Structure 1
């Protein structure tokens, strides 16, 4: 088990990595337009990470993943592989997942984008996915049982008649892409870890409009909803602080504060 509590110098590096990952999502927004192929988006992000930010795209080559970022459209839940043949269409919803390494430390974040005007369902699904993440982050503080995060997310998602994917979870992050602890996005009391100041991990609920079941495509990476329903995901890397948590991958246009103070 990796050392879960980060030192001050590690936290400083993680703030840098998180900010950098967030900046990639801010930068790419203007390129997310109809008729653009996902390979081009991958190239723009790769060049920005490597040349502008002097960092390493963490996904490239990770367990053999062939590209620098993941792009997941409509019924793709996660790990979509960018390619020239895949072209954004009016009405698509798109998740872009960015993970980078800077000074040997990882930053990891993702968000949804709309191509043109989304359907009412698409918009609502993305809103509920983002709100479920925000709600869970607002509850985080030292002393809280870890399972509460998943409980808050699942309760909110179910109340809105959507479902939570159970196969994939958030994770500790630091010098390694995936560390302890696992952050489940559904109610599960098996994980009896208590949150402590200095923990850094991702929360990244994947929310389906239909059933929670998913299936893996022949490429061994692309995960789709089994019933072909739409899927949405938002992800942040967060640091547990004495007052609540800091969102290390916070982006400028978000409706949530980068420093969450939990007095309850």
Structure 2
């Protein structure tokens, strides 16, 4: 069942999205070579819980033990924060979900650590543009399949990359994962019709090599089977009659003075 939401619901989601985006902006300020991914998770947890008084919705979800999913290089998604030390040339995808008074917001963003190899920089550029093309297809009257078709055509036909098949976008509202399912590949003009009041994510995971994946023994961390690098960008959309509202657009938000003070005083 695809739920349709109201302006009252949207207001809660927008407030959660502001904290989510401020968390990403704070992470952008601190990420650098020499840090562990666990130290980033610890920082985000304190920023969200102690500073912003919000709930990191991924923590404990189906047993997931961290605030953030942090996936590095060939990790597709659901990466465990660890003692891995970030180094120059890494691609780091950080997935963050905020619950604020029952309003949910979900966005993954990828960061480069220092300078990237040319192929990896292109991978990041193509993935972000793929997300933007998916958003443009998310209009009333189109079908969910039009989103995946736009992404796949751009990544696999126009560029020499692969769309991950095993993980897709999803509805979000009362729960973190709802219908509709939003694949990032497939045929146009297929799937549910996009309607006013829908809320869902578009979150392409794009590999520089082939798309087949494997799971680590923990049952969470997914990696490319061929060891190729992956990039992911994700937005949460509210569908209106006149077009999609991207509530996780970081350019809409900024760090407050209190946020900046928190970052300055935090001891890694």
Check whether TM > 0.5.
yes
Residue 141 of structure 1, CA deviation: 1.3
The equivalences for 1:77-156 within 5 A come to 77-83=76-82, 85-156=83-154
What is aligned with 2:32? 33
Q: Is the 8 A contact 2:142 2:189 kept in 1?
A: no
Q: Which residue of 2 aligns with 1:203?
A: 202
Q: How far, CA to CA, are the matches of 2:178 and 2:16 in structure 1?
A: 16
What is the distance in 1 between the residues matched to 2:3 and 2:34?
44
Q: Judge conservation of contact 1:24–1:48 (CA < 8 Å) in 2.
A: yes
Q: Would you say the 8 A contact 1:19–1:250 is kept in 2?
A: no
How far off is 1:140 after superposition?
2.0
- What do residues 37-63 of structure 1 show as CA deviations (whole Å, max 9, x unaligned)? 011100110011112221111111111
Q: CA 1:147 to 1:93, structure 2 compared with 1: closer, same or farther past 3 Å?
A: same
Structure 1 runs not aligned, ≥5 long: 255-264
Q: Tell whether the 8 Å contact from 1:46 to 1:57 is kept in structure 2 after alignment.
A: yes
Native 8 Å contact 1:105 1:176 kept in 2: no
Is 1:68 the counterpart of 2:67? The answer is yes
* Cα distance in 2 between the residues matched to 1:190 and 1:249: 26
Tell me how many residue pairs correspond in the alignment: 252
Structure 2: stretches of 5+ with no match in the other structure: 254-268
Shift of 1:224: 0.4
| Distance in 1 of aligned mates of 2:188 and 2:33 | 43
Tell me, yes or no, if the aligned pair for 1:139 and 1:244 is still in contact at 8 Å.
no
Given that 2:140 and 2:243 are in contact with CA atoms closer than 8 Å, whether structure 1 keeps it comes out as yes
Q: Structure 1 residue runs of 4+, over 2 Å off?
A: 188-192
Structure 2 partner of 1:258: none
Mapped contact 2:168–2:181 kept (Cα < 8 A): yes
The SS at the match of 1:20 is helix
Q: Shift of residue 139 of structure 1?
A: 2.4
CA distance in 2, matches of 1:190, 1:62: 33
1:180 corresponds to: 179
Over the aligned positions, Cα root-mean-square deviation in angstroms equals 1.5
Structure 1 position 119, deviation (Å): 0.6
Superposition pairs of residues 158-197 of structure 1, within 5 angstroms: 158=156, 159-188=158-187, 192-197=191-196
Partner in structure 2 of residue 259 of structure 1: none
- TM-score, normalization by structure 2: 0.91
Contact 2:146 2:189 in 1 (8 A): no
Q: Tell me how far 1:190 sits from its aligned partner.
A: 9.1
Seen in structure 2, the aligned counterparts of structure 1 residues 253 and 73 have a Cα distance that, compared at 3 Å, is: farther
Q: Per-residue CA shift, 1:157-199, capped at 9, x if unaligned? A: 0120100011111000012000110001001469521111111
- Point out the structure with the larger helix share: 2
Q: TM-score of the superposition, structure 1-length normalised? A: 0.92
Do the aligned partners of 1:199 and 1:239 also contact (CA within 8 Å) in 2? yes
